[in-house]
Structure 1
Amino acid sequence: MRPALDRLQQIEHHLLGRPSAAAAAQWQVQLLTDPKLAADAQAQRQLYDALRQAGRRQLRQELDRIHERLERQSRRRGWLRAATDGLRRLLPGRPQPDQ
């Protein structure tokens, strides 16, 4: 594997994985002694945070659209029920709507 990919894999392992206590301590030493690694790790952390926020925004928008659609359907059913309640009362043998 190329050195840049090895470095990225190492950063991802420490940011996304669950390194052991010894590996985490060694990672902290590496960050302190290698400013370029610390900068790369910080940039990768910011990228993950931005992706997470974008995903949450997208999910919120999808949930809002679903909620709006369900609310519209509920209002339509409510309107139809109100419009037909009078007819239901006139028809013999039909169950009366709950009031």
Structure 2
Amino acid sequence: MRPDLHRLHWIEHHLLGHPTPAEAADWRTQQLVDAELAADTEIQRQLYQGLYQAGRQQLRWELDQIHARLQHSARRRGWLQAATDVLRRTLRLLPGR
């Protein structure tokens, strides 16, 4: 694996995974010694936070769209129900029924 990918994998493991206590201690030491690692980790953490927020916004938008469609169909169903009620009343008034 390329060194950059290995480094990214290591950062992801510590941000998203469940490192052992020994790995976590080594990680903290490495971040204290390597300022670039600490900066890369912070950038990756912010990236994950941004993706998380974007995902939440996308879900909110999708739920709003579903809600709007349901409201629209309820209004349409209301109109249809009103129209058929008038027809039903009219049919009841016809002779022979």
TM-score, structure 1 normalization: 0.85
Q: In structure 2, the residue corresponding to 1:19 is in which secondary structure?
A: coil
Corresponding residue of 1:68? 68
Corresponding residue of 1:91? 91
Rounded Cα–Cα distance in structure 2 between residues aligned with 1:4 and 1:87: 73
- Structure with the bigger percentage of helix: 2
TM-score, structure 2 normalization: 0.86
Select between 53-62 and 40-49 the one with higher mean Cα deviation. 53-62
Rounded Cα–Cα distance in structure 1 between residues aligned with 2:2 and 2:59: 36
Rounded Cα–Cα distance in structure 1 between residues aligned with 2:87 and 2:6: 74
Post-superposition CA distance 1:31-76 (Å, at most 9, x none): 1111110000000000111111111111111111111011100110
Residue identity opposite 1:16 in structure 2 = L
Deviation at residue 8 of structure 1 after TM alignment? 0.6
Gapped regions of structure 1 (runs ≥ 5):
93-99
Post-superposition CA distance 1:63-98 (Å, at most 9, x none): 111110111001100111012212223435xxxxxx
Rounded Cα–Cα distance in structure 2 between residues aligned with 1:13 and 1:73: 47
Rounded Cα–Cα distance in structure 1 between residues aligned with 2:4 and 2:46: 18
Rounded Cα–Cα distance in structure 2 between residues aligned with 1:69 and 1:30: 52
Gapped regions of structure 2 (runs ≥ 5):
93-97
Corresponding residue of 2:10? 10
CA RMSD of aligned residues (A): 1.2
Is 1:78 paired with 2:40?
Answer: no
